């Protein structure tokens, strides 16, 4: 069974609940197995526009445009995509735009792909250097509270927040040849 076929975990359902209750109208993403449940829910929800990106920095601009157009958006990405966003994150600081991203971590727990390690180690520091507040979740019981707190910081206080979702929380990734 692949990650996209697995039944949703309670913490994944809790994240989507925060999205719905908070009025998220746009979900931007580069396809990622770690976010597959949230992506499927966004695609199926008629109140949410799902936007597939070619690269993660497009999602920063999309979230800014959504806010300026009166909507709330979230960017879903892997830790490897954070490096693609560094220059675009300056837009958020210069214009003081609210921004929420959920980042599934790679290069941590039981990683099989050595290419994921360097950006994983640099993800939190890179975001913080660009003025983004970082919150990390490793315990499924804390996910809803942390995502909800991030949501409020972004959409009530106008902050820029990244929630890093531990690779251990998502589960081991295994290379499967077909």
Is pLDDT of 95 > 70?
yes
As a whole number, mean pLDDT of residues 158-168 equals 94
The tens digit of pLDDT for each residue in 64-80 reads: 999 999 999 999 999 98
Read off the pLDDT band of 107 (50, 70, 90): low
Question: What is the C-alpha to C-alpha distance for residues 4 and 8, in angstroms, rounded to an integer?
Answer: 9
Q: How far is CA 107 from CA 5, 73, 126, 140, 144, in A?
A: 23, 27, 15, 19, 24
The fraction of the chain above a pLDDT of 70, given in percent, is: 87
Sequence ranges of the domains in the chain: 10-113+141-170
CATH fold group of domain 10-113+141-170: Rossmann fold (3.40.50)
As a whole number, mean pLDDT of residues 145-166 equals 97
Computed over every residue of the chain, the mean pLDDT equals 90
As a whole number, mean pLDDT of residues 146-166 equals 97
**Sign of the alpha-carbon dihedral angle for 15, 114, 90, 27:** negative
Is pLDDT of 134 > 90?
yes
């Amino acid at each position: 069974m692949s990650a996209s076929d697995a039944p949703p975990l309670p913490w994944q359902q809790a994240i989507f609940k925060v999205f719905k209750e908070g009025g998220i109208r746009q979900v931007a993403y580069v396809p990622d197995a770690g976010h597959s449940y949230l992506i499927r829910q966004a695609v199926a929800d008629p109140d949410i526009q799902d936007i597939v990106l070619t690269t993660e920095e497009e999602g920063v601009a999309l979230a800014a445009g959504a806010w300026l157009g009166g909507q709330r958006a979230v960017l879903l990405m892997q830790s490897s995509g954070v490096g693609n966003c560094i220059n675009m994150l300056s837009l958020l600081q210069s214009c003081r735009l609210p921004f929420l991203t959920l980042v599934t971590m790679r290069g941590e727990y039981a990683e099989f792909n050595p290419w994921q390690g360097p950006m994983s180690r640099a993800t939190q520091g890179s975001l913080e250097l660009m003025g983004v507040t970082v919150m990390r979740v490793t315990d499924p019981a804390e996910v809803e509270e942390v995502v909800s707190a991030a949501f409020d910081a972004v959409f009530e206080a106008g902050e820029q927040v990244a929630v890093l979702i531990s690779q251990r929380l998502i589960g081991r990734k295994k290379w499967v040849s077909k």
